[in-house]
Structure 1
């Protein structure tokens, strides 16, 4: 029998809202958060059982596992409010370190010599940080989950094996196939610009690309 968790969602947009819905449907208790929780009422009403709304502080306190799915430009602002509340918890980092410059061009917000997972772990040193749900944009997550034929791969990395096992369960309950890349130091394939980033891949397709890079 699968474990059930209290899950806090920081960032209830296209990714956080969708994953939280999948997990609530799988039997987990989910608290979505927003600066204005009342705006989440339609989402809560749609999901029904197992879903509630609160502030990011309340969601961080509520969750045994917390999904971080905010726009990267607001990461530091969000973490400033909840960092200490996340100590010793599993935090799923679903952010990508990307932003737009004044000319509308996308750029990487962190140094090239560190993975996004390692960089986030420095911001949250007392958490069990797990990197996942970064390699497919929200429309792929919505349209390609729970495929009738081969499931698409969802890479996962982290330095705590027990935490990775729990998040792997959540990946399965979101309709994807978890693929353990290793530690956060090994998580570069999950970062923007990698050969597998934002490509919907089955296991055989993923292995061909991953083993050749």
Structure 2
């Protein structure tokens, strides 16, 4: 109690306060209660209400092993004496509340690819370049009477791997779907489909 005002967290106690805060179903509400005071912000972050809300909206979040943020997402007022455990909780809170906002927002970005970087090989450049993979296609794989697919140069050895590299947009993204279509040679008799034996996806900085 300060200045004749009661602090709800002190009055209810931690257990009852947690029960009340669990009813908050919007990240904006978590931001508001976290802005009441330093003690309220600490209570919100230490009890991981952002993660709880995010897991309610998307149970698959429980499969996350750790959260890693770029420096620009770090808390600007964090002091050198701030414990590592608290910094981890704070970064996780930022990430989970952002994810929750994206789940609830109808305007969230549906595509995290910014542009194409390159392909390991191309059959007929630029007609069949990697840039075609980002062009919306119709059922005949043609857009305005031009090719809308990527084709590798082809290898005599079927075990040779091909790769496509894309530049992703900045920010936090939860990738829950990756759409690919096998190459259909609509210009050949019978429209044969040339599909890969297997496909592997890797997120992060390129080693090339």
The structure with the larger Rg is: 2
Higher strand share: 1
When you count helix as a share of all residues, which structure comes out higher? Answer: 1
Greater relative contact order structure (CA < 8 Å, 6+ sep): 1
Q: If the TM-score is normalised by the length of the shorter chain, which range does it land in?
A: under 0.3
TM-score, normalising length from structure 2?
0.24
